[in-house]
C-alpha cells in the first residue's frame, strides 16, 4: 500500500489585489478553498516550466546536429509518416 503525503501548512502574506484575484479564481473554478486554487495555479506554473525545459532540451538537441544528422532525421521522419494511413 502507498502512503499518502500530508500537505504542509504554510502562511503567506499577499497583496490585496492578489487576494481578490485568488478569490475570483476560486469562484470561477467553483472551488471550495482559495488554498486549492493557489495549489492549482502553482502546479500549472510548475508544468509550464517543465514543458519549457523539455522544449529547450529538444531545441538544443536538434540545434547540435550536423547537416548529415539532420538529413537522417528528416529521412526517418518521412519514413515514419509513410507508415500511417492517409484519409
Per-residue pLDDT of 16-37, as tens digits, reads 999 999 999 999 999 999 999 9
Burial of 37 (C-beta count, 10 Å sphere; 0-12/13-18/19+): buried
Instruction: Specify whether the CB–CB gap between 22 and 37 falls below 8 A.
Output: yes
Residue 5 maps to a domain = no
State the residue range of the domain holding 29. 22-82
Residue scoring higher pLDDT (4 or 65): 65
What 8-15 contacts at long range (C-beta under 8 Å, 24+ apart), as own/partner pairs, is none
Average pLDDT over residues 68-83: 94
Residue 2 maps to a domain = no
Residue 6 maps to a domain = no
The number of domains in the chain is 1
Residue 3 maps to a domain = no
Residue 17 maps to a domain = no
pLDDT higher than 70, residue 84: yes
The percentage of residues in the chain with a pLDDT greater than 90, rounded to a whole number, is 87
Amino acid at each position: 500500500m502507498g502512503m499518502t503525503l500530508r500537505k504542509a501548512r504554510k502562511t503567506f502574506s499577499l497583496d490585496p489585489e492578489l487576494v481578490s484575484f485568488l478569490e475570483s479564481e476560486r469562484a470561477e473554478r467553483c472551488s471550495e478553498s482559495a488554498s486549492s486554487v493557489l495549489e492549482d495555479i502553482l502546479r500549472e506554473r510548475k508544468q509550464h516550466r517543465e514543458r519549457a525545459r523539455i522544449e529547450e532540451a529538444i531545441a538544443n538537441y536538434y540545434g547540435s546536429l550536423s547537416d548529415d544528422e539532420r538529413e537522417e532525421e528528416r529521412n526517418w521522419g518521412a519514413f515514419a509518416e509513410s507508415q500511417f494511413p492517409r484519409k
